[in-house]
Amino acid sequence: MNFSGFKLLRVLLLWLLLCGASVQAAQVAVSTPAAKAPASKPQQAAKSSSKPAKAVPPPKPVLAPPAGNLVIIGGGLRADNAEVWQRIVQLAGGKGARIGVFGSASINPEQSAQNTINKLNQYGAQAFFIPLGVTLPNSDYRKAAEDPEVVAAIHSATGIYFTGGDQARITRALVRPDGKHTAALDAVWDVYRDGGVVAGSSAGAAIMSTTMFYDAKSTLEMLKQGVTEGNEISAGLGFIGDDVFVDQHLLVRGRFARMIPVMLKKGYQIGLGIDENTAMVVNAKRDVEIIGYSGALLLDLSAAITDRGIKGFNISNATISYLDRGDKFNLVTREFTPSPDKADNKLDPNQPETREPVFTNDILGNNAVLDLMVNLIDNAQQEAIGIAFGNPRDAYPDIGFEFRFSKTINSVGYSSTEVEAYSVLKLRMDVRPIQLQAPLYRYR
């Protein structure tokens, strides 16, 4: 091979080597795309593993405390009790106030409501009937409780009134079988939250707390046998809040003692029992004012204890007070304000009115507990005793109860300068079972 041919061969070999390197570089670039691969893999993985996003439920609305007022009447409200009727109308807006009346507790809802409507209108209101009740003829109360027209009528009111009867009929009409509010009950709450008044008498008062008496036995039987959910007690509507238990017809029917087993069972520290023809007005600041004919008993079990070593119902260190008409008590601060006619007439424990022993053999009788408390607070005696026992033909006739009331360093009394009336604060009350001799008496 001459020199020129050799030179040509070298050039050809060099060209082939350069072409092979270019092909290899291209293959490497195709098999390892440095710029795209890292970015594309996460995108593909996210696409293949993605699921439909779940809807996040909106936060539940925070409901403001009710701006309205409660008027809780102990039953037996007389037509001439102007102080109570006028206060209801006033709190609903005054003359011409629209007040929706529920007769749901009654066996005859329309007639019961009409009686109340007439009285409210007599004191300046424009009251009207809410057609909702389990015993209302030709009406499906379940449908009525969700009826937009009924709901609109409730919303048009600035006041609501529940008449007396059977409180279980009220809750049955206004609460769904699953325990949720009907549209009608939500509307009542709207009226209350927006500043309206919710009033109720007797059964209409019982529904005011979260627990109410349902099919209650006698007071003595409940002390002996206790209370059971769904029998003696059930859920109320809770307008006053979940920290206060409410009872009615209190002094006239001697019901104060039946509040205690319920409060212990359900964990209430404060109980308010209002007497007949009398009302408790509870405002948005939770001030309680007593108006009307009589007063209310206040039970405080915050420091009370029970002794499990004692067979049967018992309680020690409960506190009992009597709030008379015109008195005020704040449920938050627990502060008491006497009525103006008592403000400057606080009883002096060093100058008692009497020195006689105080005792009653029927503490559950009509006004018996109030008489005992008044006689003790202005007395040189430091304690008083009341006994409760039943008919010899009752169940467990040999079981009774001793109620012992004691003055403490915190006990205070006030006397009115205008009438014979007292306020009694913070007496200690201890209750324990006693064994009665059988027979309790013999003929001479």
* CA separation, residue 317 to residues 143, 302, 305, 412 (Å): 49, 9, 7, 16
Query: How do residues 5-14 score in pLDDT, each as one tens digit?
Result: 444 445 444 4
- Band (437; pLDDT cuts 50, 70, 90): confident
Rounded-to-integer distance, Cα 258 and Cα 364, Å: 10
Per-residue pLDDT at 16 exceeds 90: no
Token readout for 161 is 């009134």
163-172: string of b/e by CB count within 10 Å (b at 16+)?
Answer: bbbbbbbbbb
Percent of all residues in the chain with a pLDDT value above 90, rounded to a whole number: 80
Token readout for 352 is 């008692």
Mean pLDDT of the region 154-165: 98
Query: Comparing C-alpha atoms, which of 264, 262, 274 is closest to residue 205?
Result: 274
Mean pLDDT of the region 387-401: 88
Query: How do residues 124-151 score in pLDDT, each as one tens digit?
Result: 999 999 999 999 999 999 999 999 999 9
Query: How do residues 59-110 score in pLDDT, each as one tens digit?
Result: 656 667 899 999 999 999 999 999 999 999 999 999 999 999 999 999 999 9
Query: Comparing C-alpha atoms, which of 247, 239, 219, 198 is closest to residue 88?
Result: 198
pLDDT at 36: 40
Cis, bond preceding 439 (omega within 30 deg of 0) = yes
Per-residue pLDDT at 50 exceeds 60: no
Mean pLDDT of the region 218-246: 95
- Band (397; pLDDT cuts 50, 70, 90): confident
Query: How do residues 336-373 score in pLDDT, each as one tens digit?
Result: 999 999 999 999 999 999 999 999 999 999 999 999 99
Record the pTM. 0.85
Query: How do residues 320-330 score in pLDDT, each as one tens digit?
Result: 999 999 999 99
CA 270, 64, 282, 102 dihedral sign is: negative
Per-residue pLDDT at 287 exceeds 70: yes
Mean pLDDT of the region 286-313: 96
Q: Is 320 within 8 Å of 299 (Cβ atoms)?
A: yes
Per-residue pLDDT at 40 exceeds 70: no
**Helical (H) or strand (E) element with 433:** strand 422-435
The whole-chain average pLDDT of the chain stands at 89
